[in-house]
Structure 1
Amino acid sequence: MRRILALLGLPLLMVSAGCAQAGSGPAGPGQPTDRHQAFEDRAEAVAQQWRPGAVWTTGYVPLQEPTVLVGDPEFTEETKLAFQAGWYRQQVPLPSGKPGDGTIGFADKELRVPLISATEAYRQLDQGDPPPCPGRPKGPSIPPPADGPDAPVSSEAQVSCVPLTVTDVELGSATVRTTRGEAQVPAWLFTVEEINAVVARVAVAADAIGALPEPVPPTAPVPPELISAQDIESVDGTTLNFRLGVGSCDTEITPLVQEHDHLVVVGGTAVRSTGICDDMLKLEPVTVALRAPLGARPVLDVVSAAPLRLAGN
């Protein structure tokens, strides 16, 4: 059982990447001329070839990064930068001993797994010291002195990037999206002075974490008008928010979804530019509505056939 749906895209977010140029001329031999039909045919082929292996439904295979925020961090510009970059400083002793096995709670059953120490979790979390960040003022710009606007004013940077301060740590759990749906996963919970949320680092040992299967895309050429999905932004019941990777000169961008009982395939279409295009890629957030809640069903990209991960904060 499947369903295909097209909705209009949302505003664009630009990031540096390779250019995605292609002509929008006639389709090649064996390629559908209708853009929606091209998506539907390839999505059907992706769904038929999906063979994830036993670990997909019996082990622990996360579909998001191992660092998770528990609560609303209420980021400032500086603290968000520090969190995304992994800049931390330790202000409390960390337990170095390896804890006993922990339990991952899935919707249907539990799984016992070995855990790592708080020291190892912090080592994975901390990505080094922040560099200076010139040009990021600490407060409002200094007004010119009373003797006139032409008087010299210091242009020295007033602040540097700062790390997040860890003030406490305890072993707990965090909600993680996995190949078996959302699960309660053992995690070291780091209390951070500068934000309101707790920073959780998954505590599952590496040898207990299953790898995602290698995607097996259809052998047929990808229709040039099809666009690849990059990641999932959020899932809320039947609402699926994801991002398309589009060329900076693409137009008529449309997200598409094909829904099956055991998986969902997403992607999009666009009209490609035939003229000169800059060397940029845009990540466009889009939304589609599913017929039923996503649950534990994987979301596959129509171009690569790869399962999509939940984007980081």
Structure 2
Amino acid sequence: MRRILALVGLPLLVVAAGCAPASTDPSGGGVGDPASHLEAFRQRAAEVADAWRPGPDWTSGYVPLQDPTVLLGDPGFTPDTEQAFRAGWYREQHRMSAAEPADGTIRFPDGTLTVPLVSALDAYQQLDQGDPPPCPGRPMDPPPGSRPKPGSTGGPIVEPGPDGSLVSPNPDPDAPVSGTPASACVPLTVTAVRLGTAPVRTSRGEAQVPAWLFTVEGLTAKVARIAVAPGAVTAVPQAPASAEPAPDGVVGAQDLSAVAGTRLAWRIGMGACDTGGTPLVEERDDVVVVGGAVTRATGICTDQLLLRPVTATLKAPLGARPVLDVVTGAPLVVRPL
């Protein structure tokens, strides 16, 4: 089981990590006994790779290995828009159709698959994770009826003032508005949507998948939400439970942050007082196993999990090979930083 205690409210440990080639000896990383850690990792990685037995859907169905919300290019984030994107704060000023489109086609490197699709309204409702919380100086949420509902054309959104009374839109765009914060917690505004495709890493390699492409005010890239109906999506298989704990000094990978050719980036989970944090990779023709090496702290330490980004260069492009966590044996999903 992954260590997940005390993650809430804990900032990620973002530190520089060197790029290591596949099956690299972690010497020089300050991790205590590099040879011992590397050998323990290789033994565990061999067990994980040998135990990997995915079902038939792995090579014939649609098994996505990344989040269903995809940015199609550089969004040109500001601090405010990035915060809103990561939190899923949206509002719409475009009518969202509830009509289900005709079946779509997923194009894999090894073939195609026809799948049912969800409506633009369903995709938007999956994308929208609610309104931002109140921030110092930010107007309160409008009362019912002042914000258009999903699917309506709506009109100008009239926000209430800090005391709850409605404030009319400022007629002079250059004049300051009383109560407007310097850095507002505001949602992203969707101004248009169309059906298209988005690249998605799957169990069969990178596929072009039907997606609803949302035009968002203030962003320079479309926000895509995968349009495949839930019934056509196969969940990532669970790894068989291991009877043995992870070797001392070997830690697991939490997720992938980037896959590009032979470059692989992931996050390892470290204790708050652990030191080191060297990437470890075991590469096979059909599977890649990743983790990290650390020196465990001695004495009393808080029970926290810190995430450290690391990278490695593979001997060959990853292609359709799954990347497995050395501790749990589970396939890792891409979740960009």
Category of TM-score, reference length = shorter chain: 0.7 to 0.9
| Residue deviations 1:201-226 (CA, integer Å, cap 9, x gap) | 00000000001111114322321211
For the pair 1:69 / 2:71, whether they are aligned, the reply is yes
RMSD: 2.5
Structure 1 counterpart of 2:24, which letter? L
Q: Where does residue 167 of structure 1 map in the other structure?
A: 191
Structure 1 residues 8, 185: CA separation in 2 closer, same or farther (over 3 Å shift)? farther
Secondary structure of 2:192 counterpart: strand
Unaligned regions of 5+ residues in structure 1, if any? Answer: 11-23, 27-32, 137-154
Q: 2:210 & 2:32 partners in 1: Cα distance?
A: 52
8 A contact 1:217–1:303 mirrored in 2: no
Q: 2:119 & 2:79 partners in 1: Cα distance?
A: 31
Deviation at 1:61, TM superposition (A): 0.5
Deviation at 1:158, TM superposition (A): 5.1
8 A contact 2:72–2:222 mirrored in 1: yes
Counterpart of 1:234 (choices 248, 252, 258) is 258
Counterpart of 2:106 (choices 100, 104, 107) is 104
Deviation at 1:124, TM superposition (A): 0.6
Q: Which moved more, 1:168-177 or 1:249-258?
A: 249-258
Structure 2 counterpart of 1:185, which letter? V
Structure 1 residues 7, 233: CA separation in 2 closer, same or farther (over 3 Å shift)? farther
Structure 1 residues 114, 8: CA separation in 2 closer, same or farther (over 3 Å shift)? farther
Deviation at 1:98, TM superposition (A): 0.5
Alignment of 1:198-217 (within 5 A): 198-217=222-241
Structure 1 residues 135, 256: CA separation in 2 closer, same or farther (over 3 Å shift)? farther
Identity %: 57
Counterpart of 2:328 (choices 298, 301, 304) is 304
Q: Which moved more, 1:116-125 or 1:273-282?
A: 273-282
Secondary structure of 1:292 counterpart: coil
| Residue deviations 1:120-165 (CA, integer Å, cap 9, x gap) | 00111111111112279xxxxxxxxxxxxxxxxxx99555311111
| Residue deviations 1:36-79 (CA, integer Å, cap 9, x gap) | 11100000000000011100110001011111111111101100
Structure 1 residues 77, 285: CA separation in 2 closer, same or farther (over 3 Å shift)? same
Alignment of 1:254-273 (within 5 A): 254-273=278-297
Q: 1:170 & 1:134 partners in 2: Cα distance?
A: 36
Normalising to structure 1: TM-score of the pair?
Answer: 0.83
Q: 2:181 & 2:95 partners in 1: Cα distance?
A: 33
Paired residue total? 276
Unaligned regions of 5+ residues in structure 2, if any? Answer: 1-21, 139-178
| Residue deviations 1:83-120 (CA, integer Å, cap 9, x gap) | 01111111011122100000000011010000000010
For the pair 1:130 / 2:132, whether they are aligned, the reply is yes
Structure 1 residues 180, 119: CA separation in 2 closer, same or farther (over 3 Å shift)? same
